[in-house]
Structure formats: C-alpha cells, structure tokens
Amino acid sequence: MLKRFAVFLAVFQSILFLAHFFLFETVVYALEPPGSVIVPLAIALAILSVTFLGASLLAFRYFNFWVRGLYIVGAVWLGAFNYLIMAAFAWWIVYGAFFYAGVDFPLRGLGFALFGIALATGVYGVVNAAWLRVKRANVKLAGLPEAWKGRTVALVSDLHLGNVRNTGFTRRVVRKISVAQPMLVMIAGDLFDGTAVNAEKAAAPLAELRPALGVFFSEGNHEEFGDPERFLAAIRKAGVRVLDNEILNIEGLQLIGVPYRQATHAEHLRSVLAGMGIERERASILLTHAPDRPQVAEEAGISLQVSGHTHRGQFFPYTWITKRMYGQFVYGLSVVGGLQVYTSSGAGTWGPPLRVGSKPEIVLLTLQ
C-alpha cells in the first residue's frame, strides 16, 4: 500500500515538474524576458512545482502558522497554474497556426495577453471563492405535514475546514445562517478537510446555531481520511447531532442520515435504507454527502435527498468534467422518479481556493 502511494506521489510530482518546465520554456520563448530574469524565474517555478505536494504532506501531520502559510501559497499557485498552463498551450496552438499559414503576427503581445488573462482569472477565482452567497429554493414534498409547510431549512456542505479556511470561516457561515432563521440546519459532510487541525476550535462557532429544531450532520469522505472520530467528537461538542444510519421523526417529517462510507455502494445503501422503516406515505429528507446513488434513495421512497460533494467542479475545466460525471445531479434541484435531489456546490473549497464557473453557497430550502 505504501509502495503504491509512493509511486503515485512520484508520478504526480513528475507531471507537475514537467508541466512547470513546459510553462517556463513557453514564457521564455513567447515573452522574451531579459536575461537577468530567466534564472530567478526558473528557480521560482522549480520551487513552486513542489510546494503544493510538499505542503499537503506536511498538512496531514502538522497544523501551525508555517504549514498553513506554505499550503495556502501552494494551493493558490496550483489554481493559478491551471490557467497559466492553459494559456501556454493556447499560445503554442496559435503560434503553430500562424507559422504554417505563413502569417506574421505579434506573438509576444499574444503571450502577454494570454498570460495576463490567465492570472486575472486566477485572481477572480480566489475572490469568487471567498464570496459566500445565500441561495433560496422552494421544494414541494408529497406527504409534508401541515406544520412544515412554509418552513425553511438550511443546507450547507463542504466547508473543508483546515489550512485555508478555519474558525473565522465557520463563524461567517454561522452568521449567514442565523440571519435567515431556519427551523432546522443540515450539514452534508466534509465540514473538515481531513488534514491536521484544531478540530474543536474550528467547529466551535457551530454552537451559536440555534434553530428551533436542531442542527444535524452526516459524515463526508474527508472526515474519513484516517479516524473520523476526532472530527465527529468536535462536531458533537459544538452541539450538532451526528446522524449515523439514523432516522428521526421531527414533527412528522422523517430526517434520515447516512454517512458517506455507508452510501458508496448501491447494494449496501439499499440494505441500510431498507432497515430503517421509512414510511413512504410521509415526507422524508435523506441527508447524505454525495449524490452518487439517487436511484437507490428513490426506490426506498424518500422524498428529498440533500447532498454536496461535487463542488459543481469548483473551477474550470473541472466544472465541465464534474458535469459529465454527475449529469443532472451535479448541482441544484433535480428529479428522478418520485425523488427530488438538491446538490449544493458547497461553502468552501478543496485544494486550490478558487471558484471559476461555480459559487460558494448556503442553501435555504422552503418546504411546501
């Protein structure tokens, strides 16, 4: 296992190094920088090429000012690099097209334009990812008790508390939810990033959430990096109810929580739901991290599934890739048979703290 992991890391780092070398060669050829810049540029790109992986490995063991700083630099750079490498490929494509067409073109100017757009996109992505929105949607549920009609519940997922976002971000999320005064709050997993962190301190602001009917959490895949109990204990200490294959009757509404580890395989999830005694004629909400098996939830007679996990791809081109993977369930409200599924794009970020083509959000669902 360790040998395979080491091989993966070596391959991943080699790809990053080669990609940075390609970017360096393109910048030198396209922009023709002064000779005094070339060596410092080569050194800087060589260092940056190993920063994210190195910081990530450190982040799983240590949580301090220096590791956080290194991780943030590496993560932001990796996001910007995504667009810089795209700009480099675009430059060579245009260069090749004009070269074979025998057309003279200011290729240096094109290089400055493409790399400028790439950097601007990276800056926009960082700003956009930090701008937390509140989204509202109405959901009609068959069998919904009269007492629940018109009530609002909050859905938040994927805060990824760790090296990039921590206690201050939790406090921001709590403030925005509290202003909306929902009757109930659901946290659909990945509250933590899975790295080393002061979990109690990061989760502590959740204690300030005081909806009338409680705050509920279902475990995500990032809580399962290692022993999830260190995260779950901090969540419970903040007054949040952790749902682990449980069904609750909340004033006539069935709230069901299934952790990620129990929902990754269709047959296992089917077995878990079958053993809960779900009443099909009554409205129910399934709180589970990923929208991976909606057909199974529909078979079980569930009314509404709420999830996160996809981040809506977080930033292009992964927004396009994720859409191909999850189809209609990648984001927002969708329907399969008698089941409605709401997938949130999440509040935080994983890896590069960028969002291009997606927005961080808290979702307020008004039940009808």
Residues β-bridged to residue 246: 257
What is the domain partition of the chain in residue ranges?
A: 2-129, 134-367
pLDDT tens digits along 171-225 = 999 999 999 999 999 999 999 999 999 999 999 999 999 999 999 999 999 999 9
Question: Which pairing describes strands 304-307 and 332-336: parallel, antiparallel, or unpaired?
Answer: unpaired
pLDDT tens digits along 211-267 = 999 999 999 999 999 889 999 999 999 999 999 999 999 999 999 999 999 999 999
Q: Averaged over 273-293, what is the pLDDT?
A: 95
Residue 1: is its pLDDT beyond 80? no
CATH no. for 134-367? 3.60.21.10
pLDDT band at 297 (very low <50, low <70, confident <90, very high): very high
What is the CB neighbour count within 10 angstroms for residue 159?
29
Please report the DSSP string for 9-73 in residue order. Answer: HHHHHHHHHHHHHHHHHHHHHHH---HHHHHHHHHHHHHHHHHHHHHHHHHTT--SHHHHHHHHH
pLDDT value of residue 209? 97
Q: How many residues does the chain have?
A: 368
pLDDT value of residue 226? 81
CA 328 from chain centre, in angstroms, equals 17
